[in-house]
Structure 1
Amino acid sequence: MWFSWRAFENIVVVCLCFAAIHPVTASVSVVDLLSSSPDFTILIRVLQRTGLIPVLNMDRNITFFAPPNSVLEKVPPSVDLPTLLRYLIVTDPIVSTNFTEHEQERVFFSELRAPAAPDFPTPIKISRIRSVTGAPDDGTGHRLKIGDANILRHDWLADNGVIHVIDRLVDIPETLCHEILERASQAGNTGFMSRIFLMHPWICILLAESQDTATALLPVNNAFSVFSDIELAYILSSGGHDDRLKLLGEHFLYSSIYRQNDTNGFGNIYPALSGSLVNMEATDNGRIRFNGEVNSLETDLIYQNGVIHTLPSLLTSYEYFEFTPRKYLHGLNAIRFINELEFHELDDNLDSLTARQTIFAPIDSSNTDSPSSDNTLLYHYSHFALPNLENRVIPSKLQLDSMNAFFQHVKVTNTKDGVFINNYARVCQQPVVVGETVIIAIDRPLLLPQSLSLVAGSLANELISVGIFRQLGLLDDLQVRGWTIFVPDDSAWESIGSVRKYFLKSPEIARQLFYSLMLKTPIYFDDITDNEHHYQDVAGNEITLRRGDSLDSVIITAPFTSYSQTIMLSDTDVLFDSGVIHTVKSVPIPEYIRITPRQLLKAEDVNVYVDLLDTTDLHSPVLADSSQYIILAPIDTALVFDNITAGMVNLVTQLGLHVLRRRSIRAGTFLDGISVYDSLVPGISMQVIQSMRDEYYILRIRSAQLTEMRLPVRILSHGQSTDGAEVYVVDRVLPMSLLVPIAGPKSWWQRHGVLVALGAAAGILTISVLSLFWFWVIFQGGRTWTRHRLITERMKNLIPFNRFQHNQPHINDMIISEESEDEDDDDDASENTPFLTSGNLGSRVTGEGAVASAEDTASTAERVELPTRTD
């Protein structure tokens, strides 16, 4: 045996000698260092009470983030210090040199086993940041940071580990699902993805029950900008359940995966919850690159049972979701409509992107019901992809017997109040295009068009036509099958006046008219083009339709004839259950319906005038079927009142006064006032010169002798025959007095004598008045001047004489007396001889004598100046 006791003894001796040369020294533990400082007396007592002293003494290569007394003194009693202190014990030695240039933060694991994952150590994240001036650092200008706690003293080395003194305690992280819940409720940067996580709580339940860890990749909200609002609404709807799971499965990984897991720098592959594989590669800037193209925004956000990385975009592409019409209907909140389609098995094309169709989707509302029958559901479909919301009709998928195998249509109407479908359901938003499918969201389900009788009864401006339809029994819904009906509006009937009354009094003629307005094919406005299309009316007549020059006109032509009419449309595509109605602004009367002047007059109950015409030779040209005269027919009461009878000598003249003929090419109607018309009475013409209210017109009647009369006439009704005769029913008889000024030629004196006589009388009267005026002016003016001169002379002579005649009267009294005597004695004295009464002088003298006596007296008397009167 090669091994001997001698050799064993030698080995023992060598060991004892070595031990003697190198004696064993006692080691310094983490607890020893803490005990040597008075700053940790409270910490030592807590460690003793919690039983953590053996852990700190016996574990090797640990790191302890030790809070000093100043921190522990502020801790409330409710804080679980043993758990917090265990979380601060890391199972790896951490010094500043552990961090490389490209790795400024790192995840480590503590001694704590959190309740959410008791089989896994709780992660703790340490960062190395640049230290501010004056703050503690690790000797290189940097310092470590754990959570919100700063390091007051770095790298305090013990034999079994490292101590870092911190300025505050560090909270234990929450669970992964708790953090996602917080993010969802706060609507933060990752709120949308967090909402999707919470819509499937079984993930958190499964994670809690398995007590395992996981990695959640949360794209930020902007990552979902690739989806439209409707697509996002679909993802959050009940119909988006499967796609949400696919989205979650691509962004939820088994176990906690940190950046440091890429130890070699070439990346690692990890399985996702969906079964796909995700490649994770550490980058030089401290981030993670996923699948070679998506770099993380936030990295290694640690929690008790997992980790979160935020991403700027999704790990899946847009095409991954394969959006279909069904998904868009969910996004538009048309859930009940989808359920009805699925129940009736009419949802085949909802998952097709190539099916060309339009879907009118009623969105869910609390006050509306969803379509619940096959017919109503098919009426919400169309084989036609609606390009826009302009006014139009499109065929639905509904095909009924009442439409005679034609598809029922849906009408789109664009108004100032919005866009409506069938004038009932409002369009909620612009059409959505998914593949070849157009989806139009409406606020309520579409109703099937009503019966003809109900639709016709609701036409507000076509009451006359509807009344005729009803009287003729043409509103029978069983009779009408797939028809097009042109319905004249009330203004159209009023414009033809007497013709309307003729149709009302002639049922068979009215039936022929309305049969020509009914076609045996449903024709919608868009079907009428510039090219002619042949159709058949209810009576079996062939007609063609084409678009007119204006956008709202249609030209109707009867083949093989010259008959062609242009009708203006006022309302188009009024749908009913077995066809379509177009309302028109005129009454298109077919060529085979002949209307004569006699029929129009009879329709207006103008019987007396017609009977009188029949007694004369005028009836042949005036009432002929081909007549083109203008007839002003007085009503019966007017003729009776004016005693117009067949026995009148001038009856032909009286009746001919009411019939006008055109001078030249027809231009407008008589009431337009454009042309002058000659009556059947030679030399008399008429023209409408003014239109007044209540159908009153002013007629200007002229004769060949240039005499003119204006006569107000009320037009009670009017109509036009097939060949162009115009019939007007008037309220009065044109008087025979119109004929008096033009009964025969007159002489010049007969025509102008009265005017000459009146002019002469006026001249004589004017001359007489002027003569009398000048005579009075001259007579009165001469008399006044003579009297004034004589009085002046007398005053000059009497002034000196009065000095010696104190008993004479005052000169004013003499003047008055003189004037009185002069007026009383006009027969004896001349008008120029005044009388002067003074003292003893009482004799009558002439003017010359009076002047002479005054002069003689003045020669012998002394002239004395009289004082001036001041009174």
Structure 2
Amino acid sequence: MKSYWVFIFLLVHVFGTKTDTSTTSVDPTPTPSTIVDILSSQPQFSYFLRLLQRQGMIPLINQLENVTVLAPINSAFVGQRGIDWENNDLKRYIVNQKLRIGYLDKEESVYKTLYRVGNQNYSVSIRPDLESLEYVIDGVSSIVDQDIYAKHQYSYIQGIDHLLPIKPTLCDALMNDSNSDIALFKKIFQSLFVDPDLETEGKKKRKKKKKPKKEKPRPLPNSCEELLNGTQTIIIPNNNLLKKSLSDIQLKYYLANDDLENFATTADAITEIKYDVMELLENLMFNELIVGKNITNSKVVSKSGVQHKFSLKNRQVKVDNIVANSTIVLADGAVHIFNEDSKVFFQNINVPTVEMIARKALYGLHYSSFVEEIYFRTLDHLIDGTTSNQSIFVDIEDRDDVEEENLLMSFSSRQNLLYQFTDGTPDTSTRRHVLMNTKLCSDKKIGGCYKLKLSTSNSNKNVTVNDDVDVTDFIPIANDTTIYIATGEIKPPVNLKHALGDLISSGTIPRHLESIQIDRTSCLKTLEFINSFDLYSLDDNEKGYSIFLPCGTKNLWKDLGLVLTYLENNPNVLQKIINGMFLKNLVYSDFAAKKEIFKDINGTPIHVSSLKIKDDKNIISLNQTELALSLNSDVLFSQGVIHVVDEVLLPDNFEIPIEELIRTTFDANFPNHFIWEILKMYPNIKNAIIGKTPYSLLIPTPESLKDFNITSSFDDLLRFVDFHLIPNTEVSKILDCIDGVGYNDSIIKTNLSEGGLVCKHKPNTNKVLLQLHKLNTTVDEAAYNKDHEVRILNHGCTKQYRGDTDHLSCVFYIQKPLSLQWLENPKKDDNFLHVHLGLVSVGAGVILGLILFGGVMAGLVLCLGKRDKNDDKDDIEFPRADSGFMSVLTDEDEFIPYDRGYETDVDVLRTESDALLPIHMKRKKRIRKPDYGSTKNNNNNGTTLPRDIGDVRNTLNRERNGNGYTQF
């Protein structure tokens, strides 16, 4: 115990002695314990402290507790001049909680400052830099002085080496054009805030709409700040991911309001699109700040009420197992950008997207005026999502970008609109031609709905509507619906008269890739008959009509020959034929029934069946007549369908009495040469012609009968008639020859035993000739004799020729009669060439002779004219040396040394005053007088005189041209 007190004493003594002997009286400096004290005690923070003092923030800082000051060191201000500091700006450097670097880990953290941005506190992020082993604030400023503690305020000071830049807000980032990687999302976001002027433009309605009343929706935000009120986190898909996650039509719909400058979108469309955009955005917006470790492995509810799980993976945020590619911390929140290669982004994060019903799809394609018209016509059930499995055809000219003053309202009627909607969405990959039922129906006119033709080819790259309007695009949408964008107006069928008028004016039936040509001449003939029987106006029969119109080939009516003449002479029969082309029911080119019984407008039953479809043609039969209808070649009209065919459809029981057929050859100009009158002279022949086993006839023209003097008094008249009778067993040879198919050079027997014929068809001229072929003769046939042939001008049969001629008679109208003289053998030893010329041959010979004579005369004149010209030239260049020729020159002939003139006795008797040639070398017509002669006296002096030849007169001799010759 004693030792203890000794120790205490010594200790006190030692320390007491030291104090007493100290030579200094300065108190020790206290440790700084407030933020301002620390800043003032640390010289590296002097500039920052002075800035706080200038901004009057010292009182505020002295009142703070549990904060962290991010104090820039002096070097951070180097080069920073002209900064307009404000109080609020400096608050960005004060974090509203204690931040101790020693407690941070490797994950990013975000902290709020005292600076207010709207209704949010300004945020700063702190992330470790693993290379420099420093913590970096907002990616620009490193913490160089760590964890300086101000104990009296329970706060920390972190020295940083750079000033902190002012980050943009969420609205700043989303309402500008930076960061093109999320440009599509920004356009969708910005489309919520349409320019008021453009939105007002859309409110100009064309018509007052009749839309169903709905509950008044919540108001739309007028600004970005109003929309993002309280939002701190937004998840954003980048451009590629957005395109993959939305269908094309969905993306167009969400972006529709972004291009209002170019489209006159209606106000209803603008509003509806805005609500759908806002619904999508609210599914991607969160009120919590979700970055790094702030909220991890937790479930957060979006502003739309959908719950999502957030977590961290490799320092990246995951949302429902979708990893964000990058995170950007902004002034008042953060955005997470995703670019994961996924086509189901919205599905993976359980975000619903807009269902593309027809109305919304039309809005997305900028057909809001079209939608408005549909509502005006109370057809909204077609586009409001309640109707499925349909196709919609719209004209590109009906789009909202067409100027209203230039817009022809093609959808001006309810009927037009209904015709643009069809049942079903055809599978064009397996069917190239489809007839679709439209929504335009009429039980009164056709007993059902009108058709629309759709044709495709080249893997759906080439699509046409009604074979006349091209389709540029087709878009599948919700409810098994497809929208087709066409380059022309989709019009419902017109009436029969207009349909036929369009057909004849164009001369073609438009088809998908090629047009079917029609023969206008034949078609005009058909239309003439239809008009004459008043068939342009058909009664409504509640079934519709199918018209089989003969217009397809050339000479279609003309090829009926004498049958057409008979029909034109018998209008009642012709009317029944024309009426038979009109069926009281609908038979389209895709008709597939095996057997249906319809009636024509005569009331006659018609059995219709489809035999097969081959090479885009449907082979159908009407009773016994087969027709090939090209698929989608239908010409639609308001009461049915028209089919252009290549033949005149005659009833199966159609028959013309042979006598009536013969009467078609009657010519009123030659009434005495009518063949029927000749046949009446032979009752047996007449009865045979009209009997059960009939004959066919070769009937010459009445004019040729007159020329050949064939009358009832003609010798051998019976043989003549027999020569023109053809047994029915032989008729098929002539008919096949006329058709140009299935015939040969076989002999056609006549009723005259020794007279046979051979038929020749010349396709180049389309002429059919019958040549004589002698039978029962031992005389060798001579070479081809053109005179022994006749041309078939026309023909007609009592019934339709179907290969059987047992009960069929025909009349062949020939150019001239068959001559019995052709059958006569030439007389023995008579080798003289007998030529039998007809009137045509004589006329041709006369014309040919005149041509030859004219040619010879023209050649002669040309030769003589050329000869005179050459002779004159020779005389000028080479004067003749013959002294026997005397040149007679005039005073005017300075340049014509020789004129081939001779002085005759007549010349000698003339006085020199007589003019040998008239003035200007032109002959004048001589006027003869009663006393004319070679020795007459003429007192009329000419103006041109010969030169004086008195010196040589004595040397003239009559025989100067040679011994024994004179010029006479």
TM-score normalized by the length of structure 1: 0.71
> Offset at 1:392?
3.4
1:197 is the counterpart of 2:202: no
1:453 has 2:497 as partner: yes
Q: Structure 1 pair 466/619, CA: closer, same or farther in 2 (3 Å)? A: farther
- In structure 2, the residue matched to 1:465 is 526
Q: Does the 8 Å contact 1:695/1:714 carry over to 2?
A: no
SS, match of residue 189 in structure 1: helix
Residue matched to 2:333? 306
Task: Kindly state the Cα deviation for residue 555 of structure 1 after the two structures are TM-superposed.
Answer: 1.2
How far the C-alpha of 1:406 sits from its partner, in A, is 3.2
| Pick aligned residue for 1:100 from 85, 96, 105 | 105
Offset of residue 216 of structure 1: 2.0
Q: CA deviation at 1:470?
A: 0.6
1:343 to 362, 368, 376: 376
What residue number does 1:155 align with? Answer: 146
What residue is the counterpart of 2:762 in the other structure?
Answer: 691
Q: CA deviation at 1:220?
A: 2.7
Equivalent residue in structure 1 for 2:781, among 676, 689, 707: 707
Give 2:253's aligned amino acid: Y
Secondary structure of the structure 1 residue equivalent to 2:578: helix
Deviation at 1:319, TM superposition (A): 6.3
Question: How do residues 267-666 of structure 1 correspond to structure 2 at under 5 angstroms?
Answer: 267-270=298-301, 272-274=302-304, 276-290=305-319, 292-299=320-327, 301-311=328-338, 312=340, 313-314=345-346, 317=350, 321-352=354-385, 355-363=388-396, 364-365=398-399, 366=402, 367-388=407-428, 390-400=432-442, 402-403=444-445, 405-413=447-455, 418-430=462-474, 432=476, 434-460=478-504, 461=518, 462-478=523-539, 482-489=544-551, 491=553, 492-529=556-593, 531-549=594-612, 551-557=617-623, 564-569=624-629, 572-603=633-664, 605=666, 608=673, 610-611=675-676, 613-617=678-682, 620=686, 623-624=689-690, 629=695, 631-661=697-727, 666=732
In structure 2, relative to structure 1, the CA distance for the partners of 1:148 and 1:340 (3 Å cut) is same
How many angstroms does 1:666 deviate by? 4.0
The total of aligned residue pairs comes to 698
1:249 aligns with 2:312: no
User: Does 1:72 pair with 2:77?
Assistant: yes
Cα 1:724–1:500 shift into 2, 3 Å: same
**Structure 2 residue aligned with 1:788:** none
Residues 528 and 545, structure 1, Cα contact 8 Å, conserved in 2: no
- Which residue number in structure 2 is paired with residue 228 of structure 1? 247
Is 1:669 the equivalent of 2:661? no
Q: CA deviation at 1:691?
A: 0.5
- Indicate if the aligned counterparts of 2:759 and 2:770 stay in contact, CA closer than 8 A: yes
Please point out which of 234, 238, 242 is paired with 1:216: 234
Provide the residue aligned with 1:738 in structure 2: 822
Quickly say closer, same or farther: Cα 1:76–1:601, change in 2 above 3 A: farther
C-alpha distance in 2 between matches for 1:703 and 1:57: 143
Counterpart amino acid of residue 717 in structure 1: N
User: What amino acid is the match of 1:707?
Assistant: E
Q: Provide the rounded CA distance (Å) in 1 between the counterparts of 2:628 and 2:693.
A: 28
The one-letter code sitting in structure 1 at the alignment partner of 2:184 is F
Match of 1:129 in 2: 129
Shift of 1:426: 3.3
Partner secondary structure for residue 329 of structure 1: helix
TM-score (normalizing by structure 2): 0.64
Deviation of residue 520 (structure 1)?
A: 1.7
Q: Which amino acid aligns with 2:772?
A: I
Distance, in Å, in 2 between the alignment partners of 1:75 and 1:453 is: 87
Tell me, what secondary structure is at the counterpart of 2:548?
strand
The verdict on how the C-alpha distance between 1:206 and 1:189 changes in structure 2, with shifts beyond 3 A counting, is: closer
Structure 1 residues 442 and 419: alpha-carbon distance in aligned structure 2, compared to 1, 3 A threshold: same
CA contact (8 A) 2:629 2:643 kept: yes
Where 2:415 maps in the other structure, the secondary structure is helix
Partner of 2:235, secondary structure, is strand
> Does the 8 A contact of 2:760 with 2:770 survive in 1?
yes
AA matched with 2:237 = P
Conservation of the 8 A alpha-carbon contact between 1:43 and 1:68 = yes
Distance in 2, matches of 1:599 and 1:162, equals 126
The match for 1:88 among 66, 70, 93 is 93
Q: How far did residue 501 of structure 1 move? A: 2.9
The residue type paired with residue 169 of structure 1 is L
Opposite residue 796 of structure 2, the aligned amino acid is G
Q: Is the 8 A contact 2:695 2:728 kept in 1?
A: yes
Compute the displacement of 1:27 (Å): 1.1
- 1:145 correspondence with 2:136: yes
- The change in CA–CA distance for 1:25 and 1:331 in structure 2 (over 3 A counts) is same
Q: How far apart, in 2, do the equivalents of 1:402 and 1:497 lie?
A: 40
Change (3 A) 1:431 1:666: farther
One-letter amino acid of the counterpart of residue 651, structure 1 = L
1:80-137: CA deviation from partner (whole Å, max 9, x where unpaired) = 4766554234345556534324x1x2212334333x33xx431011221222xxxxx4
**Structure 1 residue identity aligned to 2:157:** V
Residue in structure 2 matched with residue 806 of structure 1 by the alignment: none
Per the TM alignment, residue 39 of structure 1 is displaced from its structure 2 partner at its CA by: 6.2
Q: Cα distance, 1:697 vs. partner?
A: 4.2
SS at match of 2:180: coil
How far apart, in 2, do the equivalents of 1:145 and 1:679 lie?
120
Q: C-alpha separation between the residues in 2 aligned to 1:268 and 1:208?
A: 25
Give the deviation of 1:552 after TM superposition.
Answer: 3.4
Hey, what does 2:165 align to over in structure 1?
171
User: Whole-Å Cα distance in 1 between the matches of residues 665 and 368 of structure 2?
Assistant: 63
Q: Distance in 2 between matches of 1:210 and 1:520?
A: 68
Contact kept? 1:498, 1:717, Cα under 8 Å? yes
More divergent stretch after superposition (691-700 vs 507-516): 691-700
In the TM superposition, residue 512 of structure 1 has moved relative to its aligned partner by: 1.2
SS for the counterpart of 1:475 is coil
Report how far residue 627 of structure 1 moved: 6.9
Q: Secondary structure at the match of 2:314?
A: coil
For 2:676 and 2:480, the matched residues in 1 are separated by: 73
> Amino acid of the residue matched to residue 163 of structure 1?
Q
Distance in 2 (alpha carbons) for counterparts of 1:178 and 1:376: 48
**Residue type at the aligned position of 1:267:** S
- Counterpart-to-counterpart distance in 2, 1:626 and 1:172: 115
- Corresponding position of 1:804: none
Shift of the alpha carbon at 1:521?
1.7
Residue aligned with 1:172, SS: coil
Output the CA distance in 2 between the equivalents of 1:162 and 1:189: 38
Q: Does 1:720 align with 2:797?
A: yes
Contact in 2 for aligned 1:616/1:652 (Cα 8 Å): no
Look up the match of 2:115: 112
Deviation at 1:178, TM superposition (A): 1.4
Distance in 1 of aligned mates of 2:189 and 2:618: 58
1:97 and 1:26, CA in 2 relative to 1: closer, same or farther beyond 3 A? closer
8 Å Cα contact 1:402-1:577 kept in structure 2 = no
Three-state SS of the structure 1 residue aligned to 2:175 is: helix
Moved more, 155-164 or 332-341: 155-164
CA contact (8 A) 1:451 1:477 kept: no
CA offsets, 1:6-32, max 9 Å, x none?
Answer: xxxxxxxxxxxxxxxx98823176666
Measured after TM superposition, the shift of residue 354 of structure 1 is: 6.8
- CA separation in 1, counterparts of 2:725 and 2:551? 32
